[in-house]
């Protein structure tokens, strides 16, 4: 379904992503972990074609998406939704308009300039908002919503695209634990109910363990771990983050649960 082969991105002499290679055969929820600067975001941005790749191939359902240009590239972008850490909504526009932006690629430029969206699209947008539990805020400006609500609007925009893949770049990094859980639950549900592939960059190990079917660990632009969450032991995690034995997952955990129960799970 998805084949990434020797995907490389260099900025000058700096290599952000170094010969990244992996294959995904069916829609699953994939978590990418690694410390800041490991190349996680660069990979997602290359996949969405926001950042041009230096070399390599990225084949999705038989098409090398890195070769697409112009309209073909934009059509791929509409198939491959992206969710950002800072939500990237248009703050002065209302929530439904922001969700309807997901259809921009399908609609004529002139129509969208004057906000002429078909009624069924508007209904669909409100239904998606309802599914994510924020339909009450439909008419508000995006900037009036809390961070967790804004991220759900961003997910609604992604769903409006009816994409095959959803990329999420640190979707919960600017949210409190409560909202983080709501957002991650929503992403997992989208995968379970709609069968869409979800690839998420995550900065906490426990989130990756809890929500993902497969975890990819990156360090200095290279894949250093690729396996199931169960295989992700503390030793492996230390290797991914380049940490010594003082590293403890529970120290930065944002999950809400019994503290003692958590410590028992981590072998020292």
Partner 1 sequence: MSLSPNPPHDPRANYIQMMQRKRLYGGLTMAIFALLLVSGFMLANDRNAGGFWSGLPHVLDFPADVWADAAPKVDQLPGHFLTFFPSLLETINIAAVSTLIGAAIAVVLSMLATRGLALWPRAIPVFRRAMDIMRAMPEIVIALVLIFVLGGGPVPAMIAITFHTAGALGKLFSEVNENADLKPIEGLQSVGAGWVQRMWLGVIPQVAPNYFSYGLLRFEINIRASAILGFVGAGGIGYELKNAMSWGLGKFDEAAAIFILLFLTIVVFDQLSSRVRQGLIHKGGH
Binding site for partner 1 (CB under 8 A): 48, 50, 73-78, 81-82, 84, 86-93, 101-102, 104-105, 109, 112-113, 154, 157, 161
- 30 vs 159, which CB is nearer to partner 1? 159
Q: Report, in Å, the least distance between residue 112 CB and partner 1.
A: 6
- 111 vs 177, which CB is nearer to partner 1? 111
Count Cβ atoms below 10 Å from residue 264 Cβ, excluding itself.
Answer: 8
Q: Report, in Å, the least distance between residue 101 CB and partner 1.
A: 6
Q: Report, in Å, the least distance between residue 150 CB and partner 1.
A: 11
Q: Report, in Å, the least distance between residue 103 CB and partner 1.
A: 8
Distance in angstroms (rounded) separating the CA atoms of residues 96 and 1: 32
- 159 vs 208, which CB is nearer to partner 1? 159
- 10 vs 78, which CB is nearer to partner 1? 78
Q: Which of 187, 265, 135, 145 is nearest to 29 (CA)?
A: 187
- 47 vs 186, which CB is nearer to partner 1? 47
Q: Report, in Å, the least distance between residue 155 CB and partner 1.
A: 12
**Which distant-in-sequence residues (6+ apart) come within 8 Å of 257 by Cβ?**
none
Distance in angstroms (rounded) separating the CA atoms of residues 158 and 136: 19
CB 137 within 8 A of CB 125: no
Strands 197-201 and 29-33: parallel
Enumerate the H helices of the chain as residue ranges.
40-47, 70-79, 95-100, 109-113, 119-131, 147-160, 177-194, 205-211, 234-241, 259-265
CB 261 within 8 A of CB 267: no
Q: Report, in Å, the least distance between residue 91 CB and partner 1.
A: 7
- 13 vs 109, which CB is nearer to partner 1? 109
Distance in angstroms (rounded) separating the CA atoms of residues 167 and 210: 18
Where do we find the tokens 């983080």? Answer: 180
Q: Report, in Å, the least distance between residue 258 CB and partner 1.
A: 37
- 58 vs 154, which CB is nearer to partner 1? 154
């Amino acid at each position: 379904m998805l084949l990434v082969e020797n995907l490389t991105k260099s900025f000058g002499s700096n290599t952000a992503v170094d010969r990244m290679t992996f294959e995904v055969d069916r829609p699953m929820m994939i978590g990418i972990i690694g410390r800041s600067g490991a190349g996680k975001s660069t990979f997602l941005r290359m996949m969405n074609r926001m950042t041009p790749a230096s070399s390599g191939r990225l084949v999705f359902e038989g098409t090398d998406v890195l070769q697409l240009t112009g309209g073909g590239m934009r059509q791929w972008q509409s198939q491959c939704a992206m969710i950002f850490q800072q939500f990237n909504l248009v703050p002065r526009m209302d929530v439904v308009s922001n969700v309807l932006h997901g259809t921009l690629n399908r609609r004529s430029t002139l129509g969208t300039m004057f906000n002429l969206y078909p009624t069924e699209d508007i209904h669909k947008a409100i239904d998606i908002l309802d599914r994510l539990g924020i339909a009450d805020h439909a008419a508000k400006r995006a900037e009036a919503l809390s961070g967790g609500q804004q991220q759900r609007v961003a997910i609604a925009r992604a769903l409006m695209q009816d994409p095959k893949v959803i990329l999420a770049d640190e979707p919960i990094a600017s949210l409190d634990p409560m909202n983080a859980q709501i957002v991650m639950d929503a992403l997992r549900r989208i995968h379970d109910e709609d069968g869409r592939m979800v690839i998420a960059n995550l900065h906490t190990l426990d989130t990756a363990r809890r929500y993902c079917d497969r975890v990819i660990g990156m360090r200095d632009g290279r894949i250093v771990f690729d396996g199931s969450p169960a295989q992700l032991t503390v030793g492996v995690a230390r290797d991914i983050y380049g940490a010594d034995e003082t590293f403890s997952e529970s120290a930065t955990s944002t999950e809400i649960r019994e503290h003692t129960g958590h410590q028992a799970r981590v072998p020292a």
